[in-house]
Structure 1
Amino acid sequence: MNLQDLFTVANLTAAVNKLPAIPGKVGAMGLFDEKGVTSTSVIIDEREGRLVLVPNTSRNDDPAPVKGNKRKRRTFETLHLPISRPILPSQLQGIAAFGQESATAPIATVINDHLQDLKNSIETTREFQRVGALRGQLLDADGSLLFDLFDEFDVQQKSVTVALGSPNTNVRKACLDAKRHAESKLGGVMVTGFRSFCGPDWFDAFTDHAKVKEAFAHYQEAQDRIGGDLRNGFTFGGIQFIEYDVTVSGQRFIPADVAQVFPIARGVFRLFNAPANYNETVNTLGQPYYSKAEPRKMGKGWDLEAQANPLALCLFPEALVELKAG
């Protein structure tokens, strides 16, 4: 294989998708159902009465009819996340062993190293979008608003201030109310649990509250015995609270004084991947990552690009609950 063949869309895209991804906490949970689409837009149909209870009927009778549901159709454009860097001749020159006839394998290693760096930045951005879907607002790299899912689905955001500074606050009741609210908005969707990603200020105030401290002390003792990290999850009131203290390019993924509560349920969170904007990928099924390279001016190396075209959505944003430390 010559050098030109290494830089085709097919070879680079295959390579970048095979390279290890380093997912964040949301990506590692497998919460989002991920699928490829053939267009750059995603159409979401919302039907009233998503689930119904089927009545018991005599075997000799006709089945109970289901009324036609009103339908709302919404269109979302997928994001376009390209990033590039040059590969210069000096980075490829002299890497073959003395007397070696072909330098293809070492050059492939150099290319993969560059691709890995680009992929890591893209995966961090995909994680940022997944967290945005959990919070109901998708943000750009500069913090500007891309999609407000509460506005898009015409629902109200549920935000509750919990007075963690007061020892009399019933924190368990606040947790139960958050769960009940989410369950009431899911229309019968099967929920297997609840989790919350917390900023550091919330987590510290929460675990130090008078009505939480004793439970946290018992949990802490158990974690000390097995050498666990206390920030990786503390269950209280039926919600697993996990500290999520990540800031990239000045953007904090979860506000410091917030605990974002969300349900664990299939079909609630989706991640769509659209095809890249290359001639070779028009109308093909989208993949998580793409890559391509082209020669630089005067043949002085190559410009290597990697990109993703994701759209992370919560289809039930009304079921998300934001708890703010008060």
Structure 2
Amino acid sequence: MASSSSKLVCFALALAAATVLVAPCAAQNSPQDYLDPHNAVRSDVGVDPVSWDDTLAEYAQSYAAQRQGDCAFVHSGGSYGENLFCGSAGADWSASDAVGSWVDEKQYYDHDSNSCSAPEGKSCLKYFPVVTMTPRYNQKSMAFSSWKLACIGLAFAAALVAPCAAQNSAQNSAQDFVNLHNAAREAVGLGQVHWDDNVAAYAQSYAAQRQGDCTLMHSTNRPYGENIYMGPAGKAWSAADAVGLWVEEKQYYDHATNSCSAPVDKSCGHYTQIVWRDSTAIGCARVDCSNGGVFIICSYNPPGNVIGQSPY
């Protein structure tokens, strides 16, 4: 496992190299699990298969993160074709549930007349993008959508966004990250941090970028302070693992002299960011990477670790 923290501009960064998935759930919500049902339906009507696109997946991940707080069934208004799915609490909704509900609309669509006989409350518009052939979807002409789909799923039943959050929220929820930070801050007499959805959206967006490689690399041109963590394949690393590792650096930090005695492969920067008095808003994200590892990021506003200043 490894982690790294950010400093402000002109501060030398010492790199130690932002939904909630576990291995049993990834098997039901992997990119291939989204591709297979799409391509099965397309094959049935003689349409070429779609392929996975990391750029589209990143867009889907970012928007799903925005909806994580309210699960509102609202389209993103972006430039891609888009299907949404919202599953109510109480079930581990999966890729097959989402795509299956879209494909169910096939029964209402008549290809010969290019018409839809869906009853009130139903439509054919989710089925159309699944079997798209042309570059852009037009609702008025009932033409088809884009070659590659941004399958945005809500209620954690979507493209790479916490399909099993119900099982893991107790270990990786916003409150878990907040509580862990506040425990460390309270130990040195500091006020609490609170969760900020805008900061969390940034963390989630960057975590999505790291999902393909799990590289312990900071985001560039970031407006926030930043701690990052990478856990190797084989364990469902949690918020407690990441924040716990960062807080362990407390042993190397001397507040009286505002100095750090960490060995070469360690630092104090993750800990000092957590206890930076003025960093009062946080947002964190956790993703399972394609290599089986876990990437976790926490962002901080305002950023801490200003060179020459004491955290508190």
TM-score, length-normalised on structure 1? 0.26
Structure with higher Rg: it is 1
Higher relative contact order (CA 8 A, sep 6+): 1
**TM-score, reference length from structure 2:** 0.27
Bigger share in strand:
1
